[in-house]
Structure formats: C-alpha cells, structure tokens
Structure 1
Amino acid sequence: MTNPGFLMFATYLIGLREGLEATLVVSILVAFLVKSDRRDRLPQVWGGVAAAVALSVFFGWLLEYTSTTLLADSADRELFEAVTSVAAVAFVTAMIFWMRRAARSLSGELRGKLTEALAVGSLAVALMAFLAVVREGLETALIFYSAVQGADVDGGPLYALIGGVVTSVAIGYLLYASAVRINLTRFFTWTGALLILVAAGIFKYGTHDFQEAGVLPGIKRVAYDISGVLDPSTWYGTLLSGMFNITASSTVLEVVAWVAYAVPVLILFLLPGRRASGTTPATVGATTGPATATRSA
C-alpha cells in the first residue's frame, strides 16, 4: 500500500512542477499578445486553456472509472494499473529531459506559433493555446492516477495536487508581474531530480502490480522486511517514505526495478555538462516578455 506521506509529497510536487510549466507557457502567450497590442485575442487563449484543463480532468476521471468500474476482475485491474504506471514513468522521464533540452528555445517557438495562429484566425489561436497546455494536463492526470492508484487514503493527495497547481499559478503570476525573480534553471533541476525519485516509486509500484497480476514472478520473494523497525505511521517513517520511498518491506524485483530506474536516470539528469546545456526562462514580464534564462551556479 502506498504510504500517505509519499502520496502527499509526490502529488504536491506533480502539481507544482507540471503546473508551473503550463503556467509559464500561458504567461509567454499572454505576454506576447499584450506586447503586440492584440488583447482582443486573449479570450481565445483563455478558452483554449480552459478546454485543455477540462479534457485533462475528464482523462483523469476516465482512468479512475476504467479501473474501478469497467475492470471488475482484480487481475485485469492490477494489469491496467501496472501499464498506466509504466506509461506515467515514461511520460515523466521524457518530460523532464525534454524541458531541459527545449527550454532555451521554448519562448521563441511559442511566439512563432502564436504569430502564425494570429494570421489564421481566432480558432487557430484557441487551438494553439489548447495544444500548448493540454500535454501538461494529460501528463498530470496520468502521473497523479499512477501515484495514488490502489491507495487506501482520503482526498488528501488530490488536495495536495491542487495545492501544487495553485502554488505554481501564484509563482507564475508573480513572475509575469515581475514581482519576483527565481532561478528556474535551478528550480527545474531540483524538482526534476525529485520527480525522478517519484517516478522510481511509481515504477516500483507498477512492478508490484505486474507481480500481483501474475505477469512477473517473485511476489513472495521479499528483499527486506523492517516493519519492526520502521513504523510507517510515525513521522520519520512518513518522511523516509515521502522523500526517498523507503518502505517497510519490498520484493526483490521491486528493489531491482527502483534501483535500475533511479540510479542511471539520476546520473544522466544530473551530469554537469548536460545540465548546463539547458536553460529555462527566469522571469516573465508583461511588457518585456520572457527574460533571459539564468543559469544555475
């Protein structure tokens, strides 16, 4: 069973990271329209954003409905949850590395696409805004579902996700208004590394679901059991599970899956040469547009 501490930490981080990426995209679009004196197209941008959010919420509901209602057999449900876990890990890994690689040119690409959309018409503007945001929304829904699947918890993880999104919107607004400056290169590096650990935890749970479904062997081969020492209900148990996904017991294959994913992906992500090659806008201003990225020291 997924530890509530891990869920609260993971879902808040998911909302914060994905929400800030979407917020930065929207800020770039809005800033460009304001600077270009095309405020008349702002309703189309917000309409596209609203449609992307609605589709993302529906997708999240569809995943939950499929698991709890359409799949009556427990083995099929375990298999569905395992597949969605692997898909979520693939998406979050691709997103982290894509953001680092594409951040340098993201602002210019978005402004170029919006310029083309403005020449076509209002529907094209709405569609462009929709496509720019919907990927983040669908990723958020999939990763959130994979993080909380099968957990016997209340609405806490959902509130944590919403809290992360609200925090990201607040940060994005302050950046847009030039009220604060944040080294987003360093921010995305740290949150990217933490998301890799979250993804490793999801991959571990997905491996367990594959074992429960009978696809993978070793469900009874326990690598360790420290439940007598590590009580998950204590504050330190919650902290260890929330930050590092250290649980009281795991199968051998779960441990192998966690290490096989987390170690090489973290090394690749944190290599100094690779990290320095990507930048992210540091601030977003209503009059000047996205500012030049600041590199992490």
Structure 2
Amino acid sequence: MLVPFLIMLREGLEAALVVGIIASYLRQTGRAAWMPAVWIGIFLAVSFALFVGAGLQFASAEFPQRQQELFEAIVGFFAVGVLTWMVLWMRRAARGMRDELTQALDQAFRSGRRHTYALIAMVFLAVAREGLESIFFLLAVFQQSHGAHAPLGALLGLGLAALIGLALYRGSLRLPLGHFFRATGLFILLVAAGLLSGSVRALHEAGLWNHAQQVVFDLSDSLPLDTPLGSLFSGIFGYQPAPTVSEVVAYLGYLLVALWLLRTPSARAYVTAPASSRQERD
C-alpha cells in the first residue's frame, strides 16, 4: 500500500504542478475564461490513461500462464525504465519548468484561433504522460502483489496529490518540493530495483532466462514472505527470501547505474543553465 501511495502522490504532484502553472498563467494574464480548455485536457488525458490500463489488464488476463509471466516481465521492465526516466527528468527539469511552460503558452496564444486546441493539447500531453507512467507502474505492482491494499494506496496518494496541488495553486500551502522530489526519487529507485529483480524472476518463470539461478542466500525460515515484515519488504523493495544470482545482480547493478546517473552533474547543469551561458559555451 505504501509504494503505490507514494508513487501516485509524486506522479499526481508532478501533474498538479504543470496544471497549476498553466492555471496561474491564465489567471495572471487575464485569460481565466480559458480554464474550461484545461479541464477538457485533463479529462481527455485521464480517460486515455484509464483506457490504456484497462486494455492491457484485460489483454493480459487472456494469456496462458507462461505468456502471463512474460507479459509481467515486459511490463516490469517498461515500468523500471519509466520510473528511472521520471526521477532523472524531474531532477534536471524542475527548475526551468515554469519558464518553459509560460513560453509555450505565450506561443500557443499567438497562434490565433487555434490557441484553444493548443492549450488542450499541452494539458493533455502533460497529464497523459504522468498518467501513462502511473498506469505502467501500477500494472507492474498489481501483478507482483495481491489484495486491495495496493489500489487503495494508489487512490489515497492521488487524492492527496490533488488536494496539495489545489492548495499550492491557491497559495495556502508552501511545500519544499525540491526536498520532496529528491527524497521520493531515491525511494523510487529502490522500488524500481525491486521491480527489475522481479521482472528477471518472471522471465525465468516464463522459461526465457535460465542463467545464474544459483540461490545467493535463503531467509525462508527467518524472514518468510507471509510475515508482516517480509510482506512489507517485498511490497516496498521487492524482497525475496531466496534470491538468485541474476536477481541480486539486477538489483544491485541497477542501483549503482541509477545512482551514478542521478549524481552526474554535467547533464543536470546543462539543462538548468541559463540560455545565454549555453550559447556562450556553444
């Protein structure tokens, strides 16, 4: 429950920040009458994400067992890529997000009578991106866990994100978003490492990966999955009581690469640098 809650809280806040910046721009420039276009974009994006998620879920339910394991592995790999990209992108683009959005909005309103469609498209793409990221992550989590706790946590996280986004827009809440995104980013990388390890295990169960299957350690007696602590570690970090060599290598290898990318200053400095200094360097 905790993992879907935090992921949906972060995803929802990212979408709320984009929508909030757009709404603030419309209000400050005397274009509040165009807010219905923002709501249309949100509605279309949410509908599209739910349609994609329902289609994938229904399609996977028709697969035989081996194909279901393969589908679980593919969704897991894709979710790992999406989560990693999300953390790195937010780390690098957060500072310049407001300026980039306002410039895009200015250009949209200079496009004449087509600015309504441009505004709807901007909101749709921003919210749909976060929605699709969430859908693929939730599919991976729901396939590796059972029960109603994960969906409930996702709904609670999304609801809280909407309330925080509304409070930020109205100016009644000051939240240190930089610290929040850094802390949740590290947590998401741990979650993604567990998803990657689980996807490697699903590939083995599908009969497509049979290498390095030696058990590294076995904690089945001291910390089995059916205990509260074992279930908690499994849901958050992808814990398995008897992991294989390939699963441990995937887990640790991913964390090393992801943390290295997260700490690499060159790309982050270039993205957040002022345009004038970039031109001087070029």
* Equivalent pairs, count: 269
Instruction: Please state if 1:62 is matched with 2:67.
Output: no
1:288 is aligned to none
1:81 is aligned to 72
**Secondary structure, aligned partner of 1:104:** coil
Task: State which of 117, 123, 132 in structure 2 corresponds to 1:123.
Answer: 117
| Aligned residues of 1:79 and 1:210 also touching (Cα < 8 A) | yes
> Identity, % of aligned pairs?
37
2:19 is aligned to 26
Query: 2:167 & 2:80 partners in 1: Cα distance?
Result: 31
Mapping for residues 157-168 of structure 1, pairs under 5 Å: 157-168=150-161
Mapping for residues 132-147 of structure 1, pairs under 5 Å: 132-147=126-141
1:254 is aligned to 247
**Secondary structure, aligned partner of 2:173:** coil
**Secondary structure, aligned partner of 1:250:** coil
TM-score, normalised on structure 1?
Answer: 0.84
From the superposition, tell whether residues 194 and 150 of structure 1 become closer, same or farther in structure 2 (CA, over 3 Å): closer
From the superposition, tell whether residues 150 and 200 of structure 1 become closer, same or farther in structure 2 (CA, over 3 Å): closer
| Aligned residues of 1:117 and 1:128 also touching (Cα < 8 A) | no
Code of the residue aligned with 2:32 in structure 1: it is: R
Q: Alpha carbon RMSD of aligned pairs, Å?
A: 2.2
Code of the residue aligned with 2:90 in structure 1: it is: M
Mapping for residues 165-176 of structure 1, pairs under 5 Å: 165-176=158-169
Query: 1:29 & 1:82 partners in 2: Cα distance?
Result: 37
Query: 2:251 & 2:216 partners in 1: Cα distance?
Result: 12
1:14 is aligned to 7
Query: 1:173 & 1:116 partners in 2: Cα distance?
Result: 26
Deviation at 1:268, TM superposition (A): 3.4
1:234 is aligned to 227
Q: Deviations over 1:11-49 (max 9, x none)?
A: 112101111100100100100001111111100111101
1:212 is aligned to 205
Deviation at 1:182, TM superposition (A): 1.7
Q: Deviations over 1:102-130 (max 9, x none)?
A: 11211111112222223333222111211
Query: 1:185 & 1:223 partners in 2: Cα distance?
Result: 38
Q: Deviations over 1:132-161 (max 9, x none)?
A: 21101001001110122153x222211111
Instruction: Please state if 1:245 is matched with 2:245.
Output: no
| Aligned residues of 1:14 and 1:144 also touching (Cα < 8 A) | no
- Higher mean alpha-carbon deviation, 160-169 vs 116-125, is at 116-125
Query: 1:277 & 1:122 partners in 2: Cα distance?
Result: 33
**Secondary structure, aligned partner of 2:255:** helix
TM-score, normalised on structure 2?
Answer: 0.88
Deviation at 1:66, TM superposition (A): 1.4
**Secondary structure, aligned partner of 1:263:** helix
Q: Deviations over 1:139-193 (max 9, x none)?
A: 1001110122153x22221111111111111221222222221211111000000
1:224 is aligned to 217
Q: Deviations over 1:210-230 (max 9, x none)?
A: 111121114853222211000
Query: 1:47 & 1:102 partners in 2: Cα distance?
Result: 26
From the superposition, tell whether residues 114 and 178 of structure 1 become closer, same or farther in structure 2 (CA, over 3 Å): same
Deviation at 1:97, TM superposition (A): 0.6
Structure having the higher helix fraction is 2
The runs of at least 4 consecutive aligned structure 1 residues that moved more than 4 Å come to 270-279
| Aligned residues of 2:213 and 2:246 also touching (Cα < 8 A) | no
Query: 1:229 & 1:246 partners in 2: Cα distance?
Result: 13
5+ residue gaps, structure 1:
1-7, 280-297
5+ residue gaps, structure 2:
273-282
- Higher mean alpha-carbon deviation, 238-247 vs 127-136, is at 238-247
